Chain A
Amino acid sequence: MSAAPSVRLEGVTKSYGDVLAVNDVTATFGPGVTGLLGPNGAGKSTLIKLVTGMLSPSIGRVLLCDEPPTSSPHVMARVGLVPEQDPIYPGVSAFEVTSYLLRLHGLDRGDAASRARAALERVGLAAAMDRPVQGYSKGMRQRAKLAQALAHDPDVLVLDEPLNGLDPVGRREIVALVQALGAEGRCVVVSSHVLHEVEAMTRRVLLMAHGRVIAEGTVAEIRRDLSDRPLTVRVDTPSPREVARFAVGVEGVLSVDLSASDRVVVATRRPDDLFAAMAGAVLGQGLPVRSFHPTDEGLEAVFRYLTAGGA
C-alpha cells in the first residue's frame, strides 16, 4: 500500500559553494494546501528542487511519500509540478505536450490521449487544446501547465506561482481547483511571493527568509505567536475622541491614533481584552462604535513583521 501523500524535510541544508540556499529546514507538508512564502532569494526555488527530486540535500534528507525522491525515481510518478516558467515548443499544442508528458509516466498512447484531454478540459482549455501553445495568452499557458501537472493524478502537487497572468475569473477558478485538490487529501504546496494569492487558497503557510523557515502554521497561529508585537485594531466611529478615551484605559493598549475624523487605530498587546472591553462598552455604555476589526492579521502584515528582523 502506498504511503499517504506528504513531503517531509528533516534538517535539510543545501549549499552552493559558500552560499547556503536552504539552511537546516525541518518541515512537513501533509494532505491539504500549504502556502510556501518568501521574498525572492528566500530559498523557495531550492526547496522546490529538493522536494521534486531535482536536487539532493547537502545535509539532511527529503522524503516524498516516505521515500527519498533522488534515489527512488518511481516515487516521482506521484508528483506534479507547475513550474513558474512557460515551457513552449513552437508549433506544439497543449494536447500534444500533455499527452507526451503522460507517456513519460508509462501510459500507452491511447490512455495518455484520453487523460490529457480530460485534464485540459478540467482547466478550461477544451476549445483551445489543439492550438499551438505559443499562441496562448499568459493565462491559458498557466492553465496548460496546470493540466500537465494534474493529468497523471498526482498525490503531491507543487505549484510555483500558479496564478501568474490569470484574469479574475481564471484566478477564481484555479483557486477553487487548488482548494478542491487539497480537500481531496492531496498534498498541495503553493509557492508564491504574492501573499494574498496564497491567502485565497489556504490559511496554512510556511514562511521562508534567508534560506530558513521563519514561521509555520496557520496565519492566525503565527500571529498569536507574535506576542511581543502589537496588533492594530481599527475602530470606525463618529466620535473618535470618546472612543480613544475609552481605549487608553484598557489594559495592554500601547497607543491610539486619532489622525482620522471617522476612526481611531488602536495598538494593543492584548487584542482579546480590547475586543471584550469594547463589546461590553458598546452594549453597556452606548459607546458610539460602528465596527472594529484588526488591520494586520493578514499574511502581508505577518510576513512584514517576520522578515523585518525584529524591526
Chain B
Amino acid sequence: MTVHARGYRRHEGGTERPRLRFLPIVAEGYRAGTRGKAFRRLGLLFVVIVVFHGVMLYLDPAALFPRRMRGGLGQVTSDDLMRRVLAFFARSLAGLVPLVAMFVGAGSVADDLRSRALPLYLVRPVTPTDYWLGKVLAPAAVTATAYGVPFVALVAFGVLIRPSEEILPFAWRHLPSLGAVVLHVGVTALAYASVVVTLSTLVGRRIGTMVAFAGVVYGGEMLRLFSQTAPPDLAEPLRALSLGTDARVLLHEMLDVTLEHSGPQPAVTSAVAVLAACVLLGALVVVRRARSVEVTS
C-alpha cells in the first residue's frame, strides 16, 4: 500500500487568493499576542484609565481645562468637551500604547530568525512582502485593539451620558470625531508596530529589540522636549522624532483641538513624513532580510 493511500490525500479544496496569504500570519500573531499575561495586565491598566476619563467627563469636566480658562467654561459646548476628552485621553495613554506594540512585536521576526523558521514560511506560497505584512499587522492589530477599544468606549460613554433626546443628534455630530479616533489609532498602531518589527529584524533578539524600541520611542520623546533649546534648524526635525506626538498631532488636527502643556509640536507635514518613513523603512528592512534567508546544509 502506498503512503498516499495510507495517509495523504492531495488537497482538492479551494485556497485563498495568493495576496491574502499574510492573513494566517496576522491571525497567529494576534492570537499569540493577546494570550500573554503582559497583554492582560496592560489591558487592565487601560480599563482603569478609561474609567478615570469617563468619570472626569461626567463629574468634573472643568479639570480638563487649564485653570485660567475655567472661569469661561459656560461658553464651552458639549461638543468641545467631547473632542477635548478624546485628545486628553490620547495624551494620557501616550506612554502605555508603545508598550503593547513592544511586548507583542519584539519577538515577531527575531523569534523566527533565532529558531531559523524563516525558510518554513518562504518555501510556501508566501512572498517576503506577505511575510512583512503578516508580521507588522499582527502587533498593529493587537495595539489597535488595546488602544482603540477603550477609545471607542469613551466615545460611547460620552454619547450615552447625554440626555436621551440628545443622544442621536450628538452621536451623529461626533461621527467625524469617531473617524478621527479610528484613523489616529490605526496610524499609531501601524507606526509602533513597524518600528518594533524593524528592530526585531535588525536586532534578532527579543530582549534587545525591547531595549532598542524603548530607546527609539522614549528617546524620541526626550529629543522632542529637547528641541525647545535646540538651534532653530534642528528644532523641527527633533520635534518630529516622537512617534506618539506625531500621531497625536494628526488627531488634534482632525479634532481641531489644542491641548495646553503638550510641549513643542511638529508640523503636520513633518509628522506624516516621519510616520510614513517608519512604515516604509520597516517594509524595506523586513523584505530584504526575508530575501536573504539562510538555509545551511
Name A residues whose Cβ lies closer than 8 Å to a Cβ of B.
Answer: 44-45, 48-49, 52-54, 73-77, 79-81, 83-89, 100-101, 103-108, 111, 115, 118-119, 121-122, 148, 150, 152-153, 160-161, 177, 180-181, 183-184, 191, 193
Would you list which residues of chain B between 4 and 44 have a CB under 8 Å from chain A? 4, 6-11, 13-16, 18, 21, 24-25, 27-28
**CB-nearest residue of chain A to B22:** A104
A77 touches B297 (CB 8 A): no
A54 touches B295 (CB 8 A): yes
Q: How far is the CA of A115 from the CA of B7 in the complex (A)?
A: 9
24 inter-chain pairs at a CB distance below 8 angstroms, sorted by A residue, are: A48-B295, A49-B293, A73-B125, A73-B126, A76-B125, A77-B124, A81-B119, A83-B120, A84-B297, A101-B120, A104-B25, A104-B124, A106-B14, A106-B15, A107-B13, A108-B13, A111-B13, A118-B8, A119-B8, A148-B120, A153-B10, A181-B3, A184-B2, A193-B297
Q: Top 4 A-B pairs ranked by shortest CB distance?
A: A106-B15, A87-B117, A122-B7, A103-B24
State the main secondary structure of chain B at its contact with A: loop
With contact pairs A77-B125, A105-B15 given, residues A118 and B28 touching in the complex (Cβ less than 8 Å):
no
Q: How far is the CA of A49 from the CA of B292 in the complex (A)?
A: 10
Count of residues in B whose CB is under 8 Å from the partner chain: 36
**CB-nearest residue of chain B to A115:** B11
**CB-nearest residue of chain A to B134:** A104
- A84-B295, A107-B11 known, 4 other contacts, Cβ within 8 Å: A76-B126, A86-B116, A100-B28, A104-B125
With contact pairs A104-B25, A152-B11, A153-B10 given, residues A53 and B3 touching in the complex (Cβ less than 8 Å):
no
Return the contact of A87 from the options B11, B27, B115, B125 (Cβ within 8 A). Answer: B115
With contact pairs A48-B295, A106-B15 given, residues A81 and B123 touching in the complex (Cβ less than 8 Å):
yes
**Is B75 an interface residue when CB atoms closer than 8 A count as contact?**
no
A153 touches B9 (CB 8 A): yes
**CB-nearest residue of chain A to B10:** A153
**Is B121 an interface residue when CB atoms closer than 8 A count as contact?**
yes
**CB-nearest residue of chain B to A160:** B297
